[in-house]
Amino acid sequence: MQMVPTQRLICFGSATACLLRTTTLLAQNSIPTTLAPASTPAHQIFDLSIFVVAITGGIFLVVGGLLAVVLFRFRARKTDPAGEPAQIYGSTQIELAWTVIPVLIVVVLFLTTARIIFAIQDAPKPKTALDVTVIGHQFWWEFRYPKYGVITANELHIPVSSAGAQEAAFLKLTSADVNHSFWVPRLAGKTDLIANHVNSMWMDPQTPGLYLGQCAQFCGSQHALMLLRVYVDTPGQFAAWIKNQQQPALQDPAVAAGRRDFEAQACMNCHTISGTSATGRFGPDLTHLMSRTTLASGAMNNTPTNLRQWIKSPDTFKNGALMPAMQLSDKQLDEVTAYLETLK
């Protein structure tokens, strides 16, 4: 019997609906799954994990199956003869066997693992590699591109790696406050960001697109909304993006009032907008705020309404974020929002 997709959907009910939804999400790349690696370290880990699952799965089938058989075969029956079953106290040969076999399995697993540890962790850094410094803050990410003089936040841009042009991004990671962890599952394993301590990791994604992740080390009240977006750009896109980020902030006379408000308020103590007197380092750099798709480290989309509400009362979106409500008047809110909206 042939079933059209809609009928099938009805048949399997909500479970299938969820599965279908999962498939669409996969197509959109929005699931940060470890099962669809898109970069060499993630690939190597995935391949290793298949090997480990094969071995442990085999052990599970043998031992679990044996246990099930024993439980069934030796269950007490009404027909059992009186008295106790034969008492067996042990057997050196058998016990030796099941000590030696696990040791052999451990040796194989360890050697395979060690190879991947060294392959990923001690991989030589190519001369052309892109350097990015990642600094964790409560609760957002700061990205610095020292070679290009670019500082941005929450949305990391790196170039795609192809057979013709091998590219790799090498990240140096540290923290400005508490511990965080950088995790974009499809690109690489996670690495912690720790104050007074510099870690490093690398990735060479092979497909352009958006890769999602988030902070993976509990870092305080809004740890859950310390989201992470990595844009893997084609070489052309990446060059254009860098070029735009290197520009100072746009000075649009139409929104001069908003800029004055920004500079007159405490905003400038925490945020930087290049080309103005705002040089704070405590919050994200806003020079090219409008080049980002989300606000507050992915807490919401970057729309004028959201931006205005965020400035008015950050707690609406992210209760516990360190940005205070600035108590601006409605007019000031409109002006500052309009000003920030010009920072392409």
Site for another protein in 119-148 (CB under 8 A): 120-122, 138
Q: Which of 2, 87, 93, 128 forms a contact with another protein (CB under 8 A)?
A: 87
- For the bound state, the minimum distance from the C-beta of residue 79 to another protein, rounded and expressed in Å, comes to 11
**Interface of this chain with another protein, residues 289 to 318, rule: CB under 8 A:** 298
Say whether residue 199 binds another protein (CB under 8 A): yes
Number of residues that bind another protein (CB under 8 A): 96
CA pair distance 148, 121, nearest whole angstrom: 26
CA pair distance 57, 54, nearest whole angstrom: 5
- For the bound state, the minimum distance from the C-beta of residue 3 to another protein, rounded and expressed in Å, comes to 22
Q: Of 103-111, 124-132, 151-159, 270-278, which segment contacts another protein by CB under 8 A? A: 103-111
- For the bound state, the minimum distance from the C-beta of residue 125 to another protein, rounded and expressed in Å, comes to 15
Q: Which of 11, 27, 75, 253 forms a contact with another protein (CB under 8 A)?
A: 75
Which residues neighbour 337 within 8 Å (Cβ) at sequence distance 6 or greater?
258, 304, 307, 308, 311
Q: Which of 25, 210, 239, 264 forms a contact with another protein (CB under 8 A)?
A: 25
Which lies closer to another protein via its Cβ, residue 83 or residue 164?
A: 83
Which residues neighbour 77 within 8 Å (Cβ) at sequence distance 6 or greater?
none
DSSP 316-338: GT-TT-SPPP----HHHHHHHHH
CA pair distance 94, 84, nearest whole angstrom: 23
Q: Of 26-34, 258-266, 273-281, 333-341, which segment contacts another protein by CB under 8 A? A: 26-34
CB atoms within 10 A of CB 222: 21
Query: Cis ω on the peptide bond leading into residue 139 (within 30° of 0)?
Result: yes
Q: Which of 28, 269, 277, 313 forms a contact with another protein (CB under 8 A)?
A: 28
Which lies closer to another protein via its Cβ, residue 113 or residue 166?
A: 113
CB-CB contact of 229 with 294 (8 Å): yes
Side chain identity, residue 325? A
Task: Count CA atoms within 13 Å of residue 34 on its CB side.
Answer: 12
Which lies closer to another protein via its Cβ, residue 199 or residue 291?
A: 199
CA pair distance 228, 226, nearest whole angstrom: 7
Q: Which of 3, 7, 10, 95 forms a contact with another protein (CB under 8 A)?
A: 95
- Tokens coding 207: 């497909």
- For the bound state, the minimum distance from the C-beta of residue 338 to another protein, rounded and expressed in Å, comes to 29
Q: Which of 133, 179, 206, 293 forms a contact with another protein (CB under 8 A)?
A: 179
Say whether residue 82 binds another protein (CB under 8 A): no
Q: How far lies 60's CA from each of 55, 98, 111, in Å?
A: 9, 15, 21
Say whether residue 20 binds another protein (CB under 8 A): no
Q: Supply φ then ψ for residue 272, to 5 degrees.
A: -110, 135
Which lies closer to another protein via its Cβ, residue 240 or residue 315?
A: 315
**Interface of this chain with another protein, residues 315 to 334, rule: CB under 8 A:** 319-320
Which lies closer to another protein via its Cβ, residue 86 or residue 163?
A: 86
Say whether residue 35 binds another protein (CB under 8 A): yes
Dihedral of the CA atoms 136, 138, 140, 141 (nearest 10)? Answer: -10
**Interface of this chain with another protein, residues 211 to 250, rule: CB under 8 A:** 212-225, 227
Q: Which of 190, 209, 263, 326 forms a contact with another protein (CB under 8 A)?
A: 190
- Tokens coding 256: 């001069």
Say whether residue 67 binds another protein (CB under 8 A): yes
CA pair distance 52, 36, nearest whole angstrom: 17
